[in-house]
Chains A and B, each alone.
Chain A
């Protein structure tokens, strides 16, 4: 896969940071505004997929390594499970032991923010791995 024309590459180079920032903000503010870990995670995966589509697989893999995404998928799952198990040691499973804070601030709502971050990491890495598996491995198989 060679990648697309110069116009697409330039626009991707300009927009990639903004897409990632938008996805991260959707994840981080998921407990205040509409959105959340799943939506923001899929947005991040869309940004990485745009990078792969625009620059071609061989160039994009040098920037983002696909093996690390398989690891991040597991890390996100373990983080979410870790939040649940940490609640288990403080009382019951999924018990929310963090302080609630003032409502409508970024650090509020107890463990909701950290659960959203874990789900965002998990979903973005997982969906991007599925994208690579569906579109990239076929290339390597064809030779």
Chain B
């Protein structure tokens, strides 16, 4: 538990550095360090599937962001405090305080850490192997019991990549 909270603190520090630093490159690198800490947290909590996905996605996202940041160095954001920003920060802090109050009230009604909320997921764990006969129960939940969700996710990835390719290409279509 101590290691878990230490990693959480590391992630918070990385997130604050990523937001507050002026240099885009160090911001990208601290985001990458944050993702690696998150993958170690997944590994400690006993979710190796999620940890593998987190590491791999973090690496490819870091490569893409580094390529983009190294290409364009002119994007450093000039930052200057004005009265409007002071008001925005104060309003943000007030709303954050209100959120913390209500979240702490709602937190008391939540089940304890690690206890499942739904009884349906208990059935997946107890009967998953006998129904799907697959060794990895996470895959059997993703592709057997929740296959609709996975189809939706695949459609979301497909649509987002088609949109990204259409928007980001510089070539344009040749009109005849």
Contacts and interface: CB of A to CB of B under 8 A. Distances in A.
Contacts of A33: 135-136
A32 B135 contact: yes
A53 to B, nearest CB: 7
Contact of A104 (B135, B143, B151, B168): B135
A38 B139 CA distance: 11
Q: Dominant SS at the B interface? A: helix
Contacts, number: 141
Interface string B149-176: 0110011011001001100111100000
Contacts of A53: 63
B157 A122 contact: yes
B60 interface: yes
Nearest to B51: A34
A26 B64 CA distance: 23
Nearest to A46: B60
A39 B39 CA distance: 13
A81 B151 contact: yes
B170 A141 contact: yes
B57 interface: yes
A4 to B, nearest CB: 13
Contacts of B63: 46, 49, 53, 131
Contact of B164 (A32, A112, A133, A141): A133
Q: Please classify how large the interface on chain B is, using the bins under 10, 10 to 19, 20 to 34, 35 or more.
A: 35 or more
A45 B61 CA distance: 11
B154 A80 contact: yes
B59 interface: yes
A112 B154 contact: no
Nearest to B68: A134
Interface stretch (B18-26, B117-125, B126-134): B126-134
A133 B133 CA distance: 40
Interface residues of A, number: 51
A21 interface: no
A130 interface: yes
Contacts of B67: 134-135
Among B68, B139, B144, chain A packs the most CB atoms within 10 A around the CB of B139
Contact of B136 (A31, A42, A127): A31
Instruction: List the 3 shortest-distance A-B pairs measured between CB atoms, nearest first.
Output: A141-B170, A109-B134, A34-B48
Interface of A: 26, 30-36, 38-39, 42-43, 45-46, 49, 53, 70, 73-74, 77, 80-81, 84, 94, 96, 100-101, 103-104, 108-112, 115-116, 119, 122-123, 126-127, 129-131, 133-135, 137-138, 140-141
28 contacts: A31-B140, A35-B49, A36-B49, A36-B53, A36-B138, A36-B139, A42-B53, A45-B60, A46-B60, A49-B63, A53-B63, A80-B151, A94-B151, A108-B133, A110-B132, A111-B143, A112-B143, A112-B144, A115-B143, A122-B158, A126-B157, A130-B165, A133-B164, A133-B165, A134-B64, A135-B64, A135-B67, A135-B68
